[in-house]
Amino acid sequence: MSFAAIYKNSIEQPQAFWDGEAKLIDWQQPYSHVLDYSKPPFTQWFVGGKTNLCHNAVDRWVATQGEKAALIAISTETGSEKVYSFTELQAEVSRTAAIMLALGVGKGDRVLIYMPMIAEAAFAMLACARIGAIHSVVFGGFAAHSLASRIEDAQPKLVVSADAGSRGGKAIPYKPLLDEAIALSAHKPGKVLLVNRNLAPMNLVDGRDVDYATLRAQHIDAQVPITWLESNEPSYILYTSGTTGKPKGVQRDVGGYAVALASSMQHIFCGNPGETYFATSDIGWVVGHSYIVYGPLIAGMATIMYEGLPTSPDAGIWWSIVEKYKVTRMFSAPTAVRVLRKQPPEFMQKYDLTSLKALYLAGEPLDETTSGWISDALKVPIIDNYWQTETGWPILSIAKGYEDMPTRLGSPGIPTPGFNVKLFDETTGEECGSNEKGVVMIEGPLPPGCMQTVYGDDARYVSTYWTVLNGKHLYSTFDWGIRDADGYYFILGRTDDVINVAGHRLGTREIEESISSHANVSEVAVVGVEDKLKGQVAVAFVILKNPDTANGVQARQALEKEIMGVVDHQLGAVARPSRVYFIAQLPKTRSGKLLRRSIQAICEGRDPGDMSSIEDPASLNQIKGALVS
């Protein structure tokens, strides 16, 4: 069947299509119906069916390929490398699950995982899945305030963490940030399970903090059975940024997610059992959930967890991993490729990369220069894919597992089966035709694997993402897009206040709130500005309570550093603005709304657009003046 026919079938007959895909995973109890869309936009897939993510990722493969590699944990930071077979992975996950049960964690309880890229992080995620606990992984690069707001929202019974991560050979302590976050949060987790890597000193809190190695030894022979879950029970929460300062807990199910991952691994990523998959993301982001931990394992592949920089010990490190473990499919982000492009090509040419069949890139727009460079260097297809934390797997790509369709430069591709993608004009509400810019929307029901709701807040889920137009429920991606006459989409940036720094999704409101907490800050605007390496960087414009404190270059620089320090401390260096400018007035509409898009346009040297609603046009000169100061 042609891709076009398969896609059409997936949209017109979703039940039949997904019933077929559901055979890619094991079910302990069959579902009674494929889809329940009786309360739109809420969608239930595989209703009544019982399954388990850990069973499908681990136990299922123990019987047929138990001795084959499952998890390959490499750290160039600590110089460690360990291969876990499926049998060994099952044993480790069982031990971690037994520890969790002994600490009082049960089905439906939340476990927050704040960890570096080490094997124990994957054990913890899979252990939660095994016993039906709901994990919430928080990116290790986030600091105390970001962590505190997530602890408060998820209310975990247990936090799993470590003494430290490491970056560029420097230990980055996690435990003090975790202690500060728990102190800030109204909710206090009962227990904190700590992996001691001997990278940084740790103060243990009596009665709360417990040592992973000690408990692992106590549960060394544990065999924890799988807890079978109804397909629509929650598997995890992953917080993501949006328009407001409060991150949203994206909640996912069990059965739909397992099926979507199995399906995408087969048809988009084309991975086969026994092969090795290497995604260079982090478990703190959705790519880490779907395509480091669950996806490759569900497909029976070995997956690589890599802690370290792409350039250390030298820029050949990733390619040496590809050679050594015969990686067939690799997943990265355009920024990482741009970093490598600055290095001499010998680092890549030194290694035998013949095992590699394709490189997948996602998370931010893929520019033609980057795509052309890596394609010439690797001589394999470079496959862009566009999706979001909310969808869990690619919305747009070239699904070569169905048909070998051509890619098109600058385009992530065409809708993947199950995603009924449409473009709508923001002002008229009309559907766009070819080559007309609009907001990328998806008509419900969303396919399996997408978010079920905002954790604990169904109303916020509906009001944030959904619009009803002519009786149809439409999900907004908050991205601008355009479709050419052949159906290829091009993504043109966010419609909201989300920015994308090196493929990391950040909310400008969160950064503004953090900067506002500085005693001398009266008002602030943060915008995302184009950057050659990182795609975008955050830039802040601040009105001071006491403007005299910024008189003189030295004073300005000191204050800029101080404000960056506040963001580092509260949110993490990942959210730090690249520049902080001090101005006397911010451009606003007469009703007081910040004109962020105009500020952004000026920063990028573009026309600020229609200024008819601006309160004081002179305020734009303030931005221009600050940039040249």
Which spans of this chain sit near ligand PRX (rule: CB under 6 A)?
240, 285-287, 362-365, 384-389, 412, 477, 479, 491, 494, 500, 505
For residue 442, the minimal CB distance to ligand PRX (Å) is 12
- What is the C-alpha to C-alpha distance for residues 529 and 533, in angstroms, rounded to an integer? 12
Q: Tell me which residue has its CB nearest to ligand PRX.
A: 389
- Other beta carbons within 10 angstroms of residue 532's beta carbon come to 8
For residue 332, the minimal CB distance to ligand PRX (Å) is 11
For residue 6, the minimal CB distance to ligand PRX (Å) is 22
SS3 label, residue 213: helix
For residue 492, the minimal CB distance to ligand PRX (Å) is 9
Residue 59, token pair as written in the block: 């136990």
Tokens 């989409």 appear where? 489
Amino acid at 478: F
For residue 494, the minimal CB distance to ligand PRX (Å) is 5
**How wide is the angle at C-alpha 466 spanned by C-alphas 460 and 467, nearest 5°?**
130
190-193 contacts at long range (C-beta below 8 A, 24 or more positions apart): 190/103, 190/104, 190/157, 190/158, 191/103, 191/104, 191/157, 191/158, 191/159, 192/158, 192/159, 192/160, 192/161, 193/99, 193/100, 193/103, 193/124, 193/158, 193/159, 193/160, 193/161
Nearer to ligand PRX by Cβ, of 300 and 363: the residue is: 363
Nearer to ligand PRX by Cβ, of 264 and 389: the residue is: 389
Q: What is the four-CA torsion angle of 476, 481, 483, 489, rounded to 10 degrees?
A: -90
For residue 465, the minimal CB distance to ligand PRX (Å) is 12
CB 409, CB 370: distance < 8 Å: no
Q: Which helix (H) or strand (E) holds 66?
A: none
For residue 247, the minimal CB distance to ligand PRX (Å) is 11
User: Is the backbone of residue 330 left (phi > 0), alpha (psi -120 to 50) or beta?
Assistant: beta
Nearer to ligand PRX by Cβ, of 148 and 362: the residue is: 362
Nearer to ligand PRX by Cβ, of 231 and 240: the residue is: 240
For residue 87, the minimal CB distance to ligand PRX (Å) is 32
Residue 502, token pair as written in the block: 């090196």
Nearer to ligand PRX by Cβ, of 407 and 514: the residue is: 407
Peptide bond into 445 cis (omega under 30): yes
Nearer to ligand PRX by Cβ, of 572 and 587: the residue is: 572
